[in-house]
Structure 1
Amino acid sequence: MSSLSNAIETKIKPAGHDPVKSDLWKRIYSRLLPYWKVVGLALILVSISSATQPVLAVIMKPLLDGGFTGTNPDYIWSIPLAVIGLMFVRGVTSYGSSYLFAWVANKMLLTLRADMFSRLLGLSDSEFKQGDTGRLLNRFTIDAGTMTGVATEVITVVVRETLTVIALLGVLLYMSWQLTVIVFLVMPASVFVAKLVSRRLRRINRDTVNMNAELTRVVSEAIDAQRVIKLFDGYERENTRFMYVNARLRRFAMRAASADAALSPITQLFVSFAVAGVIFVALYQANTGTLTIGSFAAFMAALGQIFDPIKRLTNITSTMQRMLVAAESVFKLVDQDPEPDTGTREFTQPVRGHIEFEAVRHRFPNSHRDTLSDVSFAVQPGQTIALVGRSGSGKTTLANMLPRFLIPTSGQVRVDGIPLDELSLRSLRSQISLVSQDVVLFEASIGQNVAYGAGADVPPERIWEALEAANLREFVEGLPQGLDTMVGENANTLSGGQRQRLAIARALIKNAPILILDEATSALDNESERQVQLSLETLMKGRSTLVIAHRLSTVQNADQILVLDEGQIIEQGRHDELLARNGVYAGFYQMQFQFNE
């Protein structure tokens, strides 16, 4: 349990330094600028709503001094009508301001999430390899909404309650400046306490955001791995992980609730001293004839009203801390460096598919040895080159350099004589198709998945042709909805072989001159492998192809087989040549042959 807690504690620690608070405020509210007209109108309505509140207190003086004594009979109908009018104006302006601020908050959320998703798609492959899925999802679902929603809430509360407090203080000063001085003496102490509590709340809210991301990750893993959990009896372990995170989240929530709840009684304690002092002085002034009953009632009505807006202004500090913590999380994604795309050249001629790896070396950060060391080879247009070797020998690393998912530490990769770092990523990747062991299909129809990436308005005839070439047409025609059949989440309605052939059909429609096959048949049974292999042979015709394979039966017809070991090419040649040498490749082949026997 201790190792589990240490691992999770390490994961939730915020990385990097804290952004300057003023900079966060500036960045949050800079997103309001495009809507300044709507915000301005909303603030005008808020101001009108705030102005109506002290009028209710002011009415108390004429009501008591003139209305109840009978000296002003008109007050019988004028004061009730004034109250109704004030409440009507207050209701209309309050509704209008709330609606306008909600409109602004949702527009901010719309553009913010669009910026976040655009940056997410632009992150480098290495960023996704870090596997912080829970945090990424949390930023979209919780943090972005918290930041934008609270930003407009803060404006509303600060402007409305500040104006209300100022107006009520004006009433208090007008009624009795001596009594008002007593109220002023209490405010600094209340503000100081609120500042101390807000610091603690910010720390707690940051921990809560991080632990929410951890909760998302644990639940997401449990959903994805539900079969493994059942088969390997992982119920207790997963329950322990979840209960630990769940309990930590509860403790953070209780700490925040404790700090938030303590703020109100402490503030009320200071208020009680102020009220006691006010009553003492008011009674003295009443006995000396300097304060009327109406003036005192109006003063107390204004004083009674002033504590609620002050309380809301005090409580907004905890809300602001949640907003700042959420903003830190959101802007951490927005500020991440996008995938480097320094190339400016585009392919101007049809790509032939001549690929060259020249003295390529690669080492992952913090690794003690090279993944690839001085690898050189060439792929002629239309050739198939197979990469073979033990796990960890550098096959996938080598293939990932072609679409620039990885960048060589030294050396160079060229396509048709153009170094990859001189090509724009969009131009380079438009010429490459990928079919891998881990097929990714979207929760859409079969037709949409096959046509993905081929541009808009792909005619159904082209889709059917691709399905036929992938040996999948008969299966799709047998479905009740044909091309419109939904594949479901993670394509769970399809078998492994069907998913692979859909990926092949997708690659066929793209019709790129360069093809990467990454263990495309390793997870299939023999029958499915034969069907997929037939589809792959159709796909590979006329294309420069890099094949990564553990099953050597799939690479026997390759034009050249490269055997890698510890990041170096130790053998290369055709299948028959390598078998005749009786070297490493022959050993691999004999082991697989004996195993299959």
Structure 2
Amino acid sequence: MAGPGGRMMAGGGPGQRSIDFKGSSKRLIARFRPERATICALLACVVLSVGLSVIGPKILGRATDLVFAGIVGRDMPEGATKEQVLESMRERGDGEVADMLRGTDFTPGEGIDFTAVGDVLLFALGVFLVAGLLMAVATRLVNRAVNHTMFRMREDVQTKLSRLPLSYFDKRQRGEVLSRATNDIDNIGQTLQQSMGQLINSLLTIIGVLAMMFYVSWILALVALVTVPLSFVVATRVGKRSQPHFVQQWRSTGTLNAHIEEMYTGHTLVKVFGRQEESAKRFAEENEALYEAGFKAQFNSGVMQPLMFFVSNLNYVLVAVVGGLRVASGSLSIGDVQAFIQYSRQFSMPLTQVASMANLVQSGVASAERVFELLDAEEQEADASPAERPDEPRGRVALERVSFRYDPEKPLIEDLSLAVEPGHTVAIVGPTGAGKTTLVNLLMRFYEVSGGRITLDGVDIARMSRDELRSGIGMVLQDTWLFGGTIAENIAYGAAREVTREEIEEAARAAHADRFIRTLPDGYDTVIDDDGSGVSAGEKQLITIARAFLSDPVILVLDEATSSVDTRTEVLIQKAMAQLAHGRTSFVIAHRLSTIRDADTILVMENGSIVEQGAHTELLAADGAYARLYKAQFAQAVAEVD
């Protein structure tokens, strides 16, 4: 639905599930437990700083009284006492003035005692200076505590991401997950750094100033407190109104980041298929949703500060009027009223500061809940303890009545049994969605079987640690993955130990990657980014195959590993793979059936079941599903030649 000016409203609207502000705030505060010593030192500094700050106005009030007493006393007859002067004023009919001067400690005939005033001002200056130094130390301690806490939170998120099952990432956009691990944590850190010390200082200031206000005049203190309920109502009403918008703001930020990440990663495809306009339109919609949520969040929370200023000024007027009446009656000195007006400002200022930080705090807590949702996500099942391992890794794999389903209501693999002897090559073929890659994911324990079991050399892989299991499996996927670094570093990534340059080059030669690597400007030291810019898709595939060679696995998994290379290179790689697979159990997923003719066993899968298995010639002779697939590809090849 279009809003004013044709702007699109935020998707889903801010009325979606509101944040658990109280619960998330408690969890965020609880993460500071390891910083107890720093927090205690911080509180000590803030308490001392606030204590010195709140007695400052009382000291300055004393200086004001000294100046006023000097001005009054110098015009009085010298030698008379204060009581005599006041009595004389009442006799002349100046009773009201006498009542006002009753609270002033003046000496008739004496002017301003500049020495005493100077001592008081120097003392006040020292008090404020020490208070400022203590607050500077407190700020440093806040930064220390926050940075250490954010460091641990990033570690927790990184550890959590490594423990999450593959299904978690399958159901979420990468950009949205990355936004939680980066933008949201950064926002929490900035919020805490900007608000934590100030909030503590403001709360303690409110307590300290309130105590001094009652000490100076309990009547004026009660007058000042009249506006507190009004401040509370303003803060709570505005806070409840703006919080859902902050939740939507960070949700929209994650969605927008996910779209940008996808469009940047696949920018070539976007251009190839002419989807720039559609992508730009989608970006505009997501950006508009973020604009709407951010504007509403900032606008609603921004109303709080002017409202609190209004309440503060109302408080100032009430205190000034009642204080003036108290001075006129002689119940308070001018210095005490001056100090009290300062206290009323000091009392209102922290309330205003807390209110002005409300949008910052709400934004930070909204981000904290998103991070906590990630940290609370269901993890993959823990490794068995104690973990089992084969006595001697040989590579015998057995699937015993294995069942699996992504959706509990939709079976994918049912009652699948298979035995693969060490050193054998098993090719898995079948139409898209038949369960070929799923079978490999189960073997790698990226997913857990729903029923039955898979054994490696007689040991149930569910009883093995994932690290132990995967360390013995080399995997080359259709989708290549490289990281920012040199080509040599990318190849060496496959080894669990330190490897020499000679070993890296030997693996590259085995994968037939050595020739093209040496044609690059810096050879093996050529730096590539995570997209593999500067090398073709086929060359990236050769690098990943070299990585698999270097890992020296017991089991080799090739998922369409040669799909991105030319026919001549594919033949060379097949020979290299045959050499690599010698003595190792190999699982090869292939669509081009010509590449798996020499496999010991070919499995034909349909709808999660093995419908045929046997050697290439046997399956052709059987004239079943495999023969139909083979003939279809052969006919397609002839058609392409024609």
* Bucket of the pairwise TM-score, normalised by the shorter protein: over 0.9
Give yes or no for contact 1:161–1:310 (8 Å, CA) kept in 2. Answer: yes
Shift of 1:498: 1.8
Give the alignment's TM-score, normalised by structure 1. Answer: 0.93
Q: How far 1:10 moved relative to its partner?
A: 5.9
Question: What is the identity, as a one-letter code, of the residue corresponding to 1:30?
Answer: A
Report the 3-state secondary structure (helix = DSSP H, G, I; strand = E; otherwise coil) of the residue aligned with 1:74: helix
Deviations 1:141-200, CA, capped at 9 Å, x for gaps? 122233344346544223211222222223322333222211111101211221122222
Counterpart position of 1:347 = 389
1:133–1:217 contact (8 Å) kept in structure 2: yes
Q: Which residue of 2 aligns with 1:562?
A: 603
2:32 aligned residue? 32
Counterpart amino acid of 1:56?
A: G
Query: What residue number does 2:426 align with?
Result: 385
- Do the aligned partners of 1:497 and 1:528 also contact (CA within 8 Å) in 2? no
The alpha carbon displacement at 1:564 in A equals: 1.3
User: Which of 472, 483, 495 is residue 454 of structure 1 equivalent to?
Assistant: 495
* C-alpha deviation, 1:112, in angstroms: 0.9
1:362 partnered with 2:404: yes
Cα displacement (A) at 1:136: 1.4
Residue of structure 2 in register with 1:62 after alignment: 62
> Of residues 407, 420, 423 in structure 1, which corresponds to 2:461?
420
Change (3 A) 1:153 1:33: farther
8 Å contact kept, 1:501–1:535: no
Among residues 103, 110, 124, which one is paired with 2:144 in the alignment?
A: 103
Alignment counterpart, residue 547 of structure 1, candidates 588, 593, 610: 588
SS in 1 for 2:553: coil
Range that drifts further, 269-278 or 175-184:
269-278
1:433 to 474, 480, 485: 474
Q: Check whether the contact 2:397–2:457 (CA below 8 A) recurs between aligned residues.
A: yes
Tell me, yes or no, if the aligned pair for 1:504 and 1:535 is still in contact at 8 Å. Answer: no
Partner Cα separation in structure 2 for residue 183 and residue 8 of structure 1: 42
CA shift, 1:22, in A, is 5.0
The superposition leaves residues 81-133 of structure 1 with CA deviations (integer Å, 9 ceiling, x where unpaired) of: 33442343233222211112111111111111011101101111111111332
- SS of structure 2 residue aligned to 1:48: helix
Q: Is the 8 A contact 1:157 1:316 kept in 2?
A: no
Paired residue secondary structure (1:491): coil
Counterpart secondary structure, 1:489:
coil
- Whether the aligned pair in 1 keeps the contact of 2:491 and 2:544 (CA below 8 Å) is yes
Structure 2, unmatched stretches of 5+, are 71-110
Contact in 1 for aligned 2:599/2:615 (Cα 8 Å): yes
Q: Is the 8 A contact 2:63 2:335 kept in 1?
A: yes
2:122 counterpart residue number: 81
Which shows bigger deviation, 210-219 or 130-139?
Answer: 130-139
Q: Does 1:220 align with 2:261?
A: yes
Look up the equivalent residue of 1:377 and give its one-letter code: L
Identify the match of residue 536 of structure 1 among 574, 577, 587: 577
Query: 2:168, 2:8 → 1: CA distance?
Result: 23
Instruction: For residue 305 of structure 1, report the CA deviation from its aligned partner.
Output: 2.6
**Other-structure match for 1:180:** 221
For residues 468-507 of structure 1, the aligned pairs below 5 Å read 468-507=509-548
Shift of the 166–411 alpha-carbon distance from structure 1 to 2, 3 Å rule, reads closer
State the distance in 2 between where 1:550 and 1:11 align: 46
Instruction: Report the counterpart of residue 104 of structure 2 in structure 1.
Output: none
User: Cα RMSD over matched residues?
Assistant: 2.5
1:151-300 correspondence to structure 2 within 5 Å: 151=192, 153-300=194-341
Moved more, 140-149 or 177-186: 140-149
The code of the aligned residue for 1:28 comes to L
TM (normalized to structure 2)?
0.86
Q: Shift in Å at residue 412 of structure 1?
A: 2.1
| Cα distance change, pair 95–278 in 1 and its aligned pair in 2 (3 A) | closer
Structure 1 unpaired stretches of 5+: none
Q: Matches of 2:28 and 2:253 in 1, distance apart?
A: 22
Which deviates more, 288-297 or 213-222?
A: 288-297
Quote the offset at 1:38 in angstroms: 1.7
What amino acid is the match of 1:77? G
How far residue 253 of structure 1 moved from its aligned partner, in angstroms, is 1.6
Q: Alignment partner of 1:401: what SS?
A: helix
What are the within-5 Å matches in structure 2 for residues 517-536 of structure 1?
517-536=558-577
Aligned to 1:580: 621
The answer on whether the counterparts of 2:180 and 2:370 sit within 8 Å (CA) in structure 1 is yes
Decide which of 80, 90, 108 is 2:131's aligned counterpart. Answer: 90
SS in 2 for 1:411: strand
Equivalent pair of 2:14/2:293 in contact (CA under 8 Å): no
C-alpha deviation, 1:366, in angstroms: 4.8
Residues in 2 aligned to 1:172 and 1:561: alpha-carbon distance in whole angstroms: 89
Give me the whole-angstrom Cα distance separating, in 2, the residues matched to 1:342 and 1:304: 61
**Match of 2:65, as an amino acid?**
D
Q: Cα offset for 1:403?
A: 0.9
Report the identity percentage: 30
Does the aligned pair in 2 maintain the 1:43–1:156 contact within 8 Å?
Answer: no
Q: Note if 1:47 corresponds to 2:51.
A: no
Cα distance in 1 between the residues matched to 2:391 and 2:211 = 78
Quote the Cα distance in structure 2 between the aligned partners of 1:528 and 1:84. 83
The letter for the 2-side match of 1:179 is: L
2:74 alignment partner in structure 1: none
Offset at 1:385?
A: 0.8
CA distance in 1, matches of 2:10, 2:623: 50
Give, in whole Å, the separation in 2 of the partners of 1:8 and 1:439.
37
Cα distance between partner residues in 2 of 1:509 and 1:497: 19
Q: Distance in 2 between matches of 1:7 and 1:389?
A: 46
Shift of 1:497: 2.1
Deviation per CA, 1:533-578, whole angstroms, max 9, x where unpaired?
A: 3332232222111111001111011111111122222222211222
Change (3 A) 1:157 1:257: same
Partner of 1:593: 634
Letter matched to residue 394 of structure 2: R
Superposition map of 1:96-135 within 5 A:
96-135=137-176
Query: Where does residue 378 of structure 2 map in the other structure?
Result: 337
Deviation at 1:380, TM superposition (A): 1.0
Q: Distance in 2 between matches of 1:111 and 1:203?
A: 28
**Cα pair 1:13 1:210 within 8 Å, conserved:** no
Per-residue displacement from partner, 1:279-321 (whole Å, max 9, x unpaired)? 3322322332323322222221222232211211233443332
In 2, are the aligned partners of 1:500 and 1:532 still within 8 Å (CA)? no
Task: Quote the Cα distance in structure 2 between the aligned partners of 1:425 and 1:8.
Answer: 42
State whether residues 308 and 351 of structure 2, in contact with CA within 8 Å, keep that contact through their aligned partners in structure 1: no
In terms of mean alpha carbon deviation, does 383-392 or 128-137 score higher? 128-137
Report the CA distance shift for 1:497/1:530 in structure 2 as closer, same or farther (over 3 A): farther
Quick check: 515-524 or 579-588, which moved more?
579-588
Q: CA deviation at 1:348?
A: 4.4
Cα separation, 2, equivalents of 1:92 and 1:10? 49
* Cα deviation code 1:431-489 (max 9, x no counterpart): 11111110111212222221214234212222122112111223334444333322222
